[in-house]
Amino acid sequence: MSAKVGVVFGSETDIPVMRQVAETLDSMGVEYEANIISAHRSPALAIEYARTAQDRGIEVIIAGAGLAAHLPGTMAAWTTVPVIGIPVKAGALSGLDALLSIAQMPPGVPVATVGIDGAKNAALLACEILALKYPEIASRLAEMRRTQAEKIGARRGIDLLKEK
Ligand code: RP5
Protein backbone atom coordinates (compact mmCIF):
# COMPACT_ATOMS: atom_id res chain seq x y z
CA MET A 1 0.00 0.00 0.00
CA SER A 2 1.29 3.45 -0.81
CA ALA A 3 1.59 6.21 1.76
CA LYS A 4 -1.47 8.43 2.24
CA VAL A 5 0.21 10.76 4.74
CA GLY A 6 3.50 12.52 4.15
CA VAL A 7 5.22 13.20 7.46
CA VAL A 8 8.05 15.73 7.24
CA PHE A 9 10.10 17.49 9.90
CA GLY A 10 13.01 19.85 10.01
CA SER A 11 15.63 18.01 12.03
CA GLU A 12 16.56 14.74 13.70
CA THR A 13 16.01 16.59 16.97
CA ASP A 14 12.26 16.60 16.15
CA ILE A 15 12.08 12.80 16.13
CA PRO A 16 10.94 12.30 19.77
CA VAL A 17 7.85 14.42 19.06
CA MET A 18 7.26 13.20 15.51
CA ARG A 19 7.45 9.58 16.63
CA GLN A 20 4.03 10.10 18.24
CA VAL A 21 2.64 10.84 14.77
CA ALA A 22 3.91 7.47 13.60
CA GLU A 23 2.54 5.66 16.64
CA THR A 24 -0.91 7.20 16.19
CA LEU A 25 -1.05 6.55 12.44
CA ASP A 26 0.11 2.98 13.07
CA SER A 27 -2.67 2.51 15.61
CA MET A 28 -5.17 3.69 12.98
CA GLY A 29 -3.70 1.50 10.24
CA VAL A 30 -2.85 4.49 8.07
CA GLU A 31 0.14 4.26 5.73
CA TYR A 32 2.66 7.10 5.85
CA GLU A 33 6.14 8.05 4.76
CA ALA A 34 8.59 10.06 6.86
CA ASN A 35 11.33 12.43 5.69
CA ILE A 36 13.62 15.03 7.23
CA ILE A 37 13.24 18.16 5.13
CA SER A 38 14.11 21.67 6.21
CA ALA A 39 12.60 24.84 4.78
CA HIS A 40 15.88 26.59 5.60
CA ARG A 41 18.61 24.01 5.23
CA SER A 42 17.23 22.04 2.27
CA PRO A 43 14.77 24.48 0.65
CA ALA A 44 14.94 22.95 -2.85
CA LEU A 45 14.02 19.54 -1.45
CA ALA A 46 11.12 21.07 0.47
CA ILE A 47 9.66 22.55 -2.70
CA GLU A 48 10.18 19.37 -4.70
CA TYR A 49 8.55 17.27 -1.98
CA ALA A 50 5.46 19.46 -1.79
CA ARG A 51 5.10 19.87 -5.57
CA THR A 52 5.19 16.11 -6.20
CA ALA A 53 3.24 14.97 -3.13
CA GLN A 54 -0.22 14.71 -4.71
CA ASP A 55 1.06 12.84 -7.78
CA ARG A 56 2.71 10.33 -5.45
CA GLY A 57 -0.62 9.66 -3.74
CA ILE A 58 -0.11 11.76 -0.62
CA GLU A 59 -3.49 13.03 0.64
CA VAL A 60 -2.42 14.87 3.79
CA ILE A 61 0.93 16.33 4.82
CA ILE A 62 1.95 16.60 8.48
CA ALA A 63 4.87 18.97 8.90
CA GLY A 64 6.67 19.48 12.21
CA ALA A 65 9.27 22.13 12.92
CA GLY A 66 10.66 24.24 15.71
CA LEU A 67 12.02 27.80 16.03
CA ALA A 68 11.10 29.96 12.99
CA ALA A 69 9.00 27.09 11.71
CA HIS A 70 8.50 27.70 8.01
CA LEU A 71 8.28 24.09 6.86
CA PRO A 72 4.46 23.72 7.10
CA GLY A 73 3.91 27.04 5.32
CA THR A 74 6.43 26.18 2.63
CA MET A 75 4.69 22.86 2.04
CA ALA A 76 1.31 24.58 1.84
CA ALA A 77 2.63 27.18 -0.60
CA TRP A 78 3.58 24.48 -3.10
CA THR A 79 0.60 22.14 -2.88
CA THR A 80 -3.14 22.14 -2.26
CA VAL A 81 -2.88 18.87 -0.34
CA PRO A 82 -4.04 19.78 3.22
CA VAL A 83 -1.11 20.57 5.50
CA ILE A 84 -1.18 20.12 9.28
CA GLY A 85 1.61 21.88 11.13
CA ILE A 86 3.11 20.79 14.44
CA PRO A 87 5.01 23.46 16.36
CA VAL A 88 7.88 21.58 18.00
CA LYS A 89 9.12 22.80 21.37
CA ALA A 90 12.69 24.03 20.95
CA GLY A 91 15.01 26.89 21.78
CA ALA A 92 14.65 30.01 23.90
CA LEU A 93 10.91 30.44 23.35
CA SER A 94 9.97 26.78 23.96
CA GLY A 95 7.76 26.44 20.89
CA LEU A 96 5.81 29.69 21.08
CA ASP A 97 7.81 31.02 18.12
CA ALA A 98 6.99 27.90 16.10
CA LEU A 99 3.31 28.04 17.11
CA LEU A 100 2.92 31.59 15.87
CA SER A 101 4.96 30.98 12.71
CA ILE A 102 2.72 28.09 11.76
CA ALA A 103 -0.64 29.50 12.87
CA GLN A 104 -0.25 33.02 11.50
CA MET A 105 -0.28 32.12 7.80
CA PRO A 106 -1.30 34.96 5.51
CA PRO A 107 -4.76 34.56 3.92
CA GLY A 108 -4.81 32.28 0.87
CA VAL A 109 -2.44 29.57 2.05
CA PRO A 110 -3.91 27.77 5.07
CA VAL A 111 -2.08 25.48 7.46
CA ALA A 112 -4.08 23.63 10.10
CA THR A 113 -2.17 24.09 13.34
CA VAL A 114 -2.15 21.92 16.45
CA GLY A 115 -0.72 22.81 19.85
CA ILE A 116 2.97 22.80 20.74
CA ASP A 117 4.22 19.21 20.42
CA GLY A 118 0.64 18.24 19.45
CA ALA A 119 1.76 15.29 17.37
CA LYS A 120 -1.04 12.95 18.40
CA ASN A 121 -3.72 15.44 17.48
CA ALA A 122 -2.01 16.14 14.15
CA ALA A 123 -2.16 12.45 13.31
CA LEU A 124 -5.78 12.17 14.43
CA LEU A 125 -6.76 15.21 12.37
CA ALA A 126 -5.08 13.63 9.34
CA CYS A 127 -7.13 10.48 10.01
CA GLU A 128 -10.32 12.56 10.19
CA ILE A 129 -9.56 14.10 6.80
CA LEU A 130 -8.88 10.68 5.33
CA ALA A 131 -12.00 9.26 7.00
CA LEU A 132 -14.14 11.35 4.65
CA LYS A 133 -12.94 9.05 1.86
CA TYR A 134 -12.00 5.80 3.62
CA PRO A 135 -14.79 4.16 5.68
CA GLU A 136 -12.36 1.81 7.45
CA ILE A 137 -10.49 4.78 8.90
CA ALA A 138 -13.80 6.35 9.94
CA SER A 139 -14.69 3.12 11.78
CA ARG A 140 -11.37 3.03 13.63
CA LEU A 141 -11.76 6.64 14.68
CA ALA A 142 -15.26 5.97 15.97
CA GLU A 143 -13.96 2.97 17.93
CA MET A 144 -11.14 5.07 19.39
CA ARG A 145 -13.63 7.73 20.52
CA ARG A 146 -15.85 5.04 22.12
CA THR A 147 -12.90 3.59 24.04
CA GLN A 148 -11.83 7.06 25.13
CA ALA A 149 -15.30 7.87 26.42
CA GLU A 150 -15.51 4.53 28.27
CA LYS A 151 -12.22 5.24 30.07
CA ILE A 152 -13.48 8.63 31.22
CA GLY A 153 -16.84 7.14 32.19
CA ALA A 154 -15.13 4.55 34.35
CA ARG A 155 -13.50 7.30 36.41
CA ARG A 156 -16.60 8.99 37.77
CA GLY A 157 -17.69 9.48 41.34
CA ILE A 158 -16.87 11.41 44.47
CA ASP A 159 -14.35 8.76 45.58
CA LEU A 160 -11.96 10.17 42.97
CA LEU A 161 -11.36 13.09 45.30
CA LYS A 162 -10.52 10.81 48.19
CA GLU A 163 -7.86 8.72 46.37
CA LYS A 164 -4.29 9.25 47.52
C1 RP5 B 1 14.04 23.45 13.07
O2 RP5 B 1 14.94 23.91 13.98
C3 RP5 B 1 13.85 21.99 13.38
O4 RP5 B 1 12.55 21.63 13.07
C5 RP5 B 1 14.14 21.88 14.86
O6 RP5 B 1 12.95 21.83 15.61
C7 RP5 B 1 14.88 23.17 15.16
C8 RP5 B 1 16.27 22.93 15.67
O9 RP5 B 1 16.97 22.14 14.74
P10 RP5 B 1 18.41 21.57 15.10
O11 RP5 B 1 19.33 22.76 15.21
O12 RP5 B 1 18.27 20.83 16.40
O13 RP5 B 1 18.78 20.65 13.96
O14 RP5 B 1 14.49 23.59 11.77
Ligand 1: which residue has its CA nearest to atom 6?
66
Strand 60-66 relative to strand 83-88: parallel, antiparallel, unpaired? Answer: parallel
Q: Which CATH architecture has domain 4-162?
A: 3-Layer(aba) Sandwich (3.40)
Among 12, 13, 35, 89, which is best to mutate for testing ligand 1, by the most ligand atoms less than 8 A from CB? 13
Q: Report pLDDT for 25.
A: 98
pLDDT in tens, the chain (164 residues): 799 999 999 999 999 999 999 999 999 999 999 999 999 999 999 999 999 999 999 999 999 999 999 999 999 999 999 999 999 999 999 999 999 999 999 999 999 999 999 999 999 999 999 999 999 999 999 999 999 999 887 777 778 888 77
Best mutation site among 12, 21, 62, 67 for ligand 1 pocket (most ligand atoms within 8 Å of CB): 67
Q: Of 120, 69, 108, 73, give the one whose Cα is nearest residue 61.
A: 73
Cα separation, 86 vs 115, in Å, equals 7
Give the pLDDT score at 119.
Answer: 98
Report CA(28)–ligand 1 centroid distance (Å).
28
Centroid of ligand 1 to alpha carbon of 68 (angstroms):
9
Q: What is the pLDDT of residue 155?
A: 75
pLDDT at res. 64: 98
CA of 56 to the centre of ligand 1 (A): 27
Ligand 1 centroid to Cα of residue 12, in Å, is 8
Taking the model in full, what pTM does it have?
A: 0.94
pLDDT of residue 15: 98
Cα 47 to Cα 53: distance, rounded to the nearest angstrom: 10
Q: Dump pLDDT digits (tens) for 31-43.
A: 999 999 999 999 9
Q: Whose CA is nearest to atom 13 of ligand 1?
A: 11
Distance CA 105, CA 74 (A): 10
